[in-house]
Structure 1
């Protein structure tokens, strides 16, 4: 693998993790959302990654294949006084699990930081190589 392909691979990972962080932020923003007028509550979104072949030397990066909705049922809470309650008095909340989303956020953040560190290290090595040639 050439030194320059390292930037392509790490760059693809940084981009994918950035999208993952945006999805996690959206999920966390809607953790307490209730069903809207259509009766449907916010559904947690999940990022699906796919391997992306890069270059002729067999290196592989990553891309976001899709952003899917989690089909788990939303949390139902008995609250007959709530205007969003159904005929049985239950309010349907989103199916976002705040703890899982925080774990996803930490994981995505660390993956992002690690790939930035890989690019910084590759840059440093290339600069040192150029200095040797002077």
Structure 2
């Protein structure tokens, strides 16, 4: 049996989940960034992955196209007239990042990464056991 496809699927899944964690961490790091009046504030990002079933089976998730795109979430406007970055109306523009959503994304991606590691370890153990059984006969 060829285990390389199984390892490729798990490795592709781990790569995708690592990207999700990195993007969520970037969003959380910029959650409280302020935009100067007249400039574009930080836009939160999302990871989009797309693969056909045939490609995923034959080549693993490494065949998936992974894109990081900005979301359409509006920036937060907070009334802080004493803030140095406040606009003439007294509002400060913060990045439109939902910290709860980002934390859920972090937890979900971490659990998915762990599941891919467990699948890869199980496959490795099965392959080693098959070699051990085949070697003793």
**Does the CA-based 8 Å contact 2:74-2:96 persist in structure 1?**
yes
Q: Secondary structure at the match of 2:51?
A: strand
Give the paired residue count: 132
Q: 2:131 aligns to what?
A: 130
Q: Tell me by how many angstroms 1:89 deviates.
A: 0.7
Superposition RMSD in Å = 1.9
Query: Residues 36, 127 of structure 1: CA spacing in aligned structure 2 closer, same or farther, 3 A cutoff?
Result: farther
Q: 1:19 aligns to what?
A: 19
Q: Tell me by how many angstroms 1:71 deviates.
A: 1.8
Q: Secondary structure at the match of 1:86?
A: coil
Q: Which has the higher helix share?
A: 2
The 5 Å alignment of 1:114-129 reads 114-129=115-130
4+ runs deviating over 3 angstroms = 57-60
Unmatched tracts of structure 2, length 5 or more: none
The answer on 1:85 being equivalent to 2:97 is no
Further displaced range: 4-13 or 58-67: 58-67
**Does the CA-based 8 Å contact 1:76-1:93 persist in structure 2?**
yes
Unmatched tracts of structure 1, length 5 or more: none
**Does the CA-based 8 Å contact 1:51-1:60 persist in structure 2?**
no
TM-score by length of 2: 0.88
Q: Give, in whole Å, the separation in 1 of the partners of 2:5 and 2:97.
A: 37
Q: 1:6 aligns to what?
A: 6
1:5-39 CA-to-partner distances (Å, cap 9, x unmatched) read 10011111101111111000100111111114652
Further displaced range: 29-38 or 112-121: 29-38
Q: Secondary structure at the match of 1:133?
A: helix
The 5 Å alignment of 1:1-134 reads 2-36=2-36, 39-51=39-51, 53-54=55-56, 58=58, 60-61=60-61, 63-134=64-135
